Structure 1
Amino acid sequence: MAIMAPSFSSLVFTVRRCEPELVAPAKPTPHEFKQLSDLDNRDSLRFQIPIIQFYKYNPSMQGRDPVKLIREAPSQILVFYYPFAGRLREGPGAKLMVECTGEGVMFIEADADVSLDQFGHAIHPPFLCMDELLYDVPIIDHLGNICLICSLVVTRLRFSGFIFALRLNHLMSDAPSIVQFMNAMGEMARGVCAPSIPPVWQRELLNARNLPQVTCTYHEFDELVKPQSLIINFLHELACCSFFCGSTLVFAIRKNIPHHLGKYSTFEVLTASLWRCRSIALSPDPEDQVL
């Protein structure tokens, strides 16, 4: 199937995809049901996270097909991450669970008649051709079940180099766990026998032991606007742009942190700084609480 991508900095190219295939675990895996936690069981998480990575030509990969190497890695890593090879189901009370069926993840091989250099020197969001390099997988079956958990697309580029794209259901992973999964898949592609960090499923720890009960009325929340309304009303005022925070900026922010507060990771420093900027931009009333 050939797809003509839209203009990206005056760049137009064609993507040819092979038919999607399912990559199952390389070894038999348990057939069981795994309950998602109370935190996971939210409508706001029922979507797929798109990730796209660009890789330039590496001389050490001369004569080796990235599609073949990456196709073999999921089958190996799914032996350890076997819930990802299953399907999401909806149980009693709309409670979600994973049926570990071992069916596998969707894998798509593709070729694009464009080189990596043609995308320019600064490839960063918003990337207008993202939909053409991903694959829009239907995740709902005829019964309304959220089925597919993960899909992978590997696109060869002209003059070597390739693009790796992934869609992973947010019900199954947040950002750190996606990174862990992708690192583990990279390890398997390099020939290791097991991931350096083994996955653990202990989502029952995040379930409420006792159902919450409201014991009094909180009138301070009577006039709050629903978050969904806020999102709809202000979408037209949002702009999508990218900010790149180098070591110099991080060092400058760290210099302003009082020593008695201790040490913080780069992620914590940047998140706190962005939150302060957000709060200032909102220009809240002094009597209001910033959420």
Structure 2
Amino acid sequence: MSQALVHYYPLAGRLREVEGRKLVIDCNGDGVLFVEADADVQIAEIEAAAGGGHGLLMPPFPFVDQLIPDVQVSGSVVSGNVLSCPLVGIQVTRLLCGGFVVGHSFNHNVCDPMGVVHFMNAVADLAAGRRPAQPAVQPTWSRELLDARIPPSPAFQHREYDDTVTPPVRGDADDHVLRSFVFSSTDISALKEASSSLQPLATTTTFELLAAFLWRARTAALEIAPEEEVRLVTVVIFRRIATQLGLPSGYYGNTCVYPTVVMTAGALLGCTLGEVVRLVREAKAAVTAEYVRSTADHLVLRGRPCLCRKNHFVLTDVRRVGFDRVDFGWGEPAYGGPARAQPTVSLLVNVKGRNDAEDVVAIPISLPSTAMERFAVID
């Protein structure tokens, strides 16, 4: 890992806040958090206890907090100031069966999921002896390529940053239940048929379908008042337009923007699935080079605002990012993806089927227990 950090040296620094609440990295070489551990369990035992009874290796995982290092504790547990924390934490836990778990946490201000995979692949290549000198993809920092324009001139409304009072999390935080919901190719085909009145089947993506379906189901399960606004925040990694922004292939910084669909809960639940799919598609399609530049301008003018968190649901797709292909020399992992979900944030992840069965899409969802009971039976 220390060899990989030579090429990814900003990851060994610490965040600092400067004028205008702008975040910068102090490349002070303080390093990353690395933990070695042993667990008296086998991978088969973890698989049996994971996934909420599906028998698949996916969230929720048993004793997950013991498999991922807590970078905040290692940084500044007294002050709670995340600016003093390591940007990266990695823990390798050896299992009785000879397998191991690599749990990691990265500061999202610094890297997006693809940037994380770039770094982990560099570590894996060095660990396996495949590339003793240079990473396969030459890492590039160059954060200035995404700086705001002078003068800043936002061209979009950016409702993802609406200035509203953040409400408390619905339900007792200790009462939240985490479950993964699994969608097979048959399930996805059925959803496509249900939405086909407005969308051509061939062009409807799995993300659009599941985002629309889950947003409606989650809103209904939470019993949000019909007149209240609800938000679907679609996390878009804009590397597909990287060349238009001058980003090299080895750029490992954060390339996420958050186009958001906003409507009242009553209007959402009154829409057909196909109508919501169309809204999700339009939000994603808005992400152009100009949208990215506009976002940077908006953030500067607003002094780095937070995402609007009132009745919001954040969804991203990490199935093709590459977590499940990082190879430390023992082959592809049995599972690669998020270890858990937050109360308002979920991810689409690819999960390997058992006994040569087809892969499935899993989405970990966290809800208050009573809302989860309603969510689980929504058709």
> Structure 2: which 5+ runs fail to align?
51-57, 155-161, 232-379
Between stretches 153-162 and 192-201, larger displacement belongs to: 192-201
CA contact (8 A) 1:115 1:158 kept: yes
CA RMSD of aligned residues (A): 3.6
CA contact (8 A) 1:89 1:147 kept: no
Q: Deviations 1:246-265 (Å, cap 9, x if unpaired)?
A: 33222332334445486354
Distance 2:125 2:115 in 1: 15
Q: 1:168-179 maps to which residues of 2 (within 5 A)?
A: 168-179=106-117
Does residue 91 of structure 2 align to residue 153 of structure 1? yes
Cα drift, residue 161 of structure 1? 0.9
Cα drift, residue 160 of structure 1? 0.8
Q: Which of 148, 152, 156 matches 1:207?
A: 148
Does residue 70 of structure 2 align to residue 136 of structure 1? yes
**DSSP-derived class of the 1:239 partner:** strand
Residues 1:262 and 1:83: Cα distance change in structure 2 (over 3 Å): farther
> Structure 1: which 5+ runs fail to align?
1-73, 214-220
Q: Deviations 1:108-151 (Å, cap 9, x if unpaired)?
A: 22222222223343523333412222333322388954231112
CA contact (8 A) 2:193 2:201 kept: no
Cα drift, residue 84 of structure 1? 0.7
The residue aligned with 1:275 is 215
**DSSP-derived class of the 1:78 partner:** helix
Number of aligned residue pairs: give it: 208
Residues 1:245 and 1:78: Cα distance change in structure 2 (over 3 Å): farther
Q: TM (normalized to structure 2)?
A: 0.45
Does residue 135 of structure 2 align to residue 181 of structure 1? no
**DSSP-derived class of the 2:180 partner:** coil
Q: Which of 177, 194, 199 matches 1:239?
A: 177
Q: Deviations 1:82-110 (Å, cap 9, x if unpaired)?
A: 21122222334543210223343222222
Q: 1:11-160 maps to which residues of 2 (within 5 A)?
A: 74-121=1-48, 123=50, 124-137=58-71, 138-140=74-76, 145-160=83-98
- 1:266 alignment partner AA: T
Residues 1:110 and 1:273: Cα distance change in structure 2 (over 3 Å): same
CA contact (8 A) 1:141 1:147 kept: no
* Structure label with greater radius of gyration: 1
Larger proportion of helix = 2
Q: Deviations 1:234-289 (Å, cap 9, x if unpaired)?
A: 64664222212233222332334445486354334322332232344355666554
Q: Which of 199, 203, 207 matches 1:263?
A: 203
CA contact (8 A) 2:75 2:86 kept: yes
Residues 1:185 and 1:235: Cα distance change in structure 2 (over 3 Å): same
Residues 1:270 and 1:82: Cα distance change in structure 2 (over 3 Å): farther
- 1:84 alignment partner AA: L
**DSSP-derived class of the 2:65 partner:** helix
Residues 1:132 and 1:105: Cα distance change in structure 2 (over 3 Å): same
Distance 1:273 1:108 in 2: 39
Q: Deviations 1:156-214 (Å, cap 9, x if unpaired)?
A: 1113111111122232223343344334433443413544444443544253644689x
**DSSP-derived class of the 2:69 partner:** coil
The residue aligned with 2:309 is none
